[in-house]
């Protein structure tokens, strides 16, 4: 049995034909896949709807922003753009552009997917953390995953959304805002 870092040279060509994880295969996997991360914060204010992952969550406050301020979707977009080596959402969708006022962030996510595909990549899976002290988000997570998966054309199992509080600490803990982190894996398009 060969260790995964040894070259086995059983393959006539570099690939998975011999079924072993030889060095050549591992090196190739490294050049096929791309990873990116995104981070976003929005302030919580009265008189705004709370939209997270394209889902309206009933709450007395909402996130402040030029678009619908969907902090979770914004972090995801920056992860996808970062993985493709593209400029971030601040440059793609400037907040001084009136066409993006009140924009549906799921539509912007669709635009990000188009940009990523233009670079020859397609998402493999994404993982998102949303930090909010209140309200409780667990009941809305399945709907968020489904909406994001629909836009990205991925199975729901490839779209993870994990809510967390910050145990009352920091700006999230005192309810001044929400933060989100996302990572995204891109794979080359097969055609």
Place of tokens 């940009």: 115
CB of 42 to Zn ion, least distance (A): 6
Residues found near Zn ion in the complex (CB under 5 A)? 40, 74
Residue number with CB closer to Zn ion (40 or 83): 40
CB of 180 to Zn ion, least distance (A): 8
Q: Hey, which bits of the chain come out as E strands?
A: 34-46, 51-52, 55-56, 61-63, 121-131, 159-164, 177-188
Residue number with CB closer to Zn ion (22 or 76): 76
CB of 21 to Zn ion, least distance (A): 39
Tokens describing residue 1: 């049995």
Choose among 73, 178, 168, 173: nearest CA to 128: 73
Residue, CB closest to Zn ion: 74
Question: Residue 183: which residues within 8 A CB-CB, separation 6 or more?
Answer: 35, 36, 37, 38, 79, 126, 127
CB of 69 to Zn ion, least distance (A): 6
Residue number with CB closer to Zn ion (74 or 100): 74
Residue number with CB closer to Zn ion (22 or 81): 81
């Amino acid at each position: 049995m060969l260790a995964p870092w040894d070259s086995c040279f059983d393959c006539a060509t570099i690939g998975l034909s011999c079924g072993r994880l030889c060095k050549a295969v591992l090196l190739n996997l490294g050049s096929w896949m791309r990873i990116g991360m995104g981070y976003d914060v929005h302030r919580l204010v009265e008189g705004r709807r709370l939209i997270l992952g394209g889902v309206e969550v009933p709450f007395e406050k909402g996130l402040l922003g030029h678009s619908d301020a969907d902090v979770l979707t914004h972090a995801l977009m920056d992860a996808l753009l970062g993985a493709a080596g593209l400029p971030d959402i601040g440059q793609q969708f400037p907040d001084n552009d009136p066409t993006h006022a009140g924009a549906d962030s799921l539509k912007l996510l669709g635009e990000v997917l188009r940009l990523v595909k233009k670079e020859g990549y397609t998402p493999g899976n994404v993982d998102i953390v949303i930090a909010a002290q209140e309200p409780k988000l667990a009941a809305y997570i399945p709907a968020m995953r489904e909406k994001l998966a629909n836009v990205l054309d991925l199975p729901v199992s490839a779209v993870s959304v994990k809510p967390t509080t910050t145990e009352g600490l920091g700006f999230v803990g005192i309810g001044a805002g929400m933060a989100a982190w996302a990572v995204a894996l891109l794979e080359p398009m097969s055609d």
